[in-house]
Structure 1
Amino acid sequence: MSNAASFVHESAYVDQPCEIGKGTRIWHFVHVLANTVIGENCVLGQNVMVGPDVTIGNGCKIQNNVALYRGIRLEEDVFCGPSCVFTNVTTPRAHVERKSEFSETLVKRGATIGANATIVCGNQLGAYCMVAAGAVVTKDVPDYALVAGVPARRIGWVSRSGERLGEDLKCPRTGELYREVNGALELVA
């Protein structure tokens, strides 16, 4: 299925109803479940599973082998690295049905999640934050935070363009200036 508005590879399954925005590309062996909304200009890589009832904002890039379950919401321009993991319940057991307990997970605008990172459900990833490859997020991540490790801890700050910020909190790529206020970072100019 493809048209001028979007592209869906012939090996992908798109259950109805769902919405796929203009310019979005859905690649090999992807499964989009019902009631999923995918924004414009997104890319879903090979073997991605999305839904049901998931919202993906405009400009998101979901790399290979990622599953986005009910309750996950990605704002605009989120990057999900290959094989990153979103859990859906905090205490899973094969013999106990917990589909009614799926926790909501919000990933805010511009966030980046590295390859093989795990996001424990119910936590929020702040705008433009960066989760290092292999990290395990067990609590909310502030805007612009760089987190790494198991469990993930803040090891620095990053700019909107993804550059690590030095002590001057000035982006080396764009010159944007940030300031730290009460343990949080905000853009000044």
Structure 2
Amino acid sequence: MNNKYFVHPSSYVDENVQIGEGTKIWHFSHIQTGAKIGKYCTLGQNVNIANNVIIGNYVKIQNNVSVYEGVTLEDYVFCGPSVVFTNIKDPRSKYPQAGSQFYIKTLVKEGATLGANSTIVCGITVGEYAFIGAGSVVTKDVPDFALVIGNPAKIIGWVSEAGQKLVFNEQNIAICKKTNEKYYIENGIVKKL
């Protein structure tokens, strides 16, 4: 056991894995070879981190999530329970596709929230501080600060860095109710001022 991070005795950590200080890995989880997990992350029960996955700092992954090879989670990403990632577009048991050359990259940018039971189809980018509603199926890129729901997921609004719904005035300005920070929208692009 390493004193800098915690791994529950029921979990497995393969060789050649990097785990940052303060990270906690709970019951029945598996961290596979080549995975890199940042500082102060929390991985819930029954989490699988596949080979060569990169996870930033302060990431929270709730129970029953498998993060497959080809997926990168930046700092402060939140994965709700049973979030689903994919890493190939044409899965066939008769024609298996194994190895990094077949895996399609997925990027979840800083601060994004993936709601419980959401599915993230491979090959997309989820923008900074985007919010994916529970049960949504994300099939295309999600812009920064977008709030998306449904199957397929569609933008229904915008959220602040703190996760508060943004309401834009006639000057295209919105203020976060939690932090009082200002945001500006133009042509479907939201930026923090």
- Please give the range of the TM-score, normalised by the shorter of the 2 chains: over 0.9
- Alpha-carbon offset, residue 2 of structure 1: 4.1
- Aligned residues, how many? 187
CA-to-aligned-CA distance 1:90-130 (integer Å, 9 cap, x gap): 12112111124211000000000000000000000000000
Kindly report which structure 2 residues correspond to 1:87-126, keeping only aligned pairs within 5 A, or say none: 87-99=86-98, 100-126=101-127
1:171 and 2:142 equivalent? no
2-structure distance, mates of 1:105, 1:167:
30
Q: CA deviation at 1:167?
A: 2.5
- Alignment correspondent of 2:70: 71
Return 5+ residue gaps in structure 1 as ranges.
none
- Partner SS for 1:162: coil
| Structure 1 ranges of 4+ moved more than 3 A | none
CA distance in 1, matches of 2:104, 2:10: 30
Q: Does the Cα contact within 8 Å between 2:69 and 2:103 map onto a contact in 1?
A: yes
Cα distance in 1, alignment partners of residues 167 and 188 from structure 2: 16
CA distance in 2, matches of 1:22, 1:171: 32
Matched with 1:33 is 32
Whether the aligned pair in 1 keeps the contact of 2:168 and 2:185 (CA below 8 Å) is no
Which consecutive residues of structure 2, in runs of 5 or more, have no partner in the other structure?
none
User: Alignment RMSD, CA only?
Assistant: 0.8
Instruction: Say if 1:119 and 1:137, in contact at 8 Å, map to a contact too.
Output: yes
Q: What SS does the corresponding residue of 1:88 show, helix, strand or coil? A: coil
Distance (Å, rounded) in 1 between the aligned partners of 2:134 and 2:190: 22
> Normalising by the residue count of structure 2, what TM-score does the alignment of the two structures yield?
0.95
TM-score when normalising by structure 1: 0.97
The residue that corresponds to 1:154 in the other structure is: 155
Percent of paired sites with the same residue: 52
1:184: which partner in 2? 189
1:43 aligns with 2:48: no
SS where residue 47 of structure 1 aligns? Answer: coil
Partner of 1:18: 17
Give the whole-Å Cα distance in 2 for the aligned partners of 1:161 and 1:167. Answer: 16
Q: Which amino acid aligns with 1:108?
A: K
> Quick one: which amino acid aligns to residue 44 of structure 2?
G
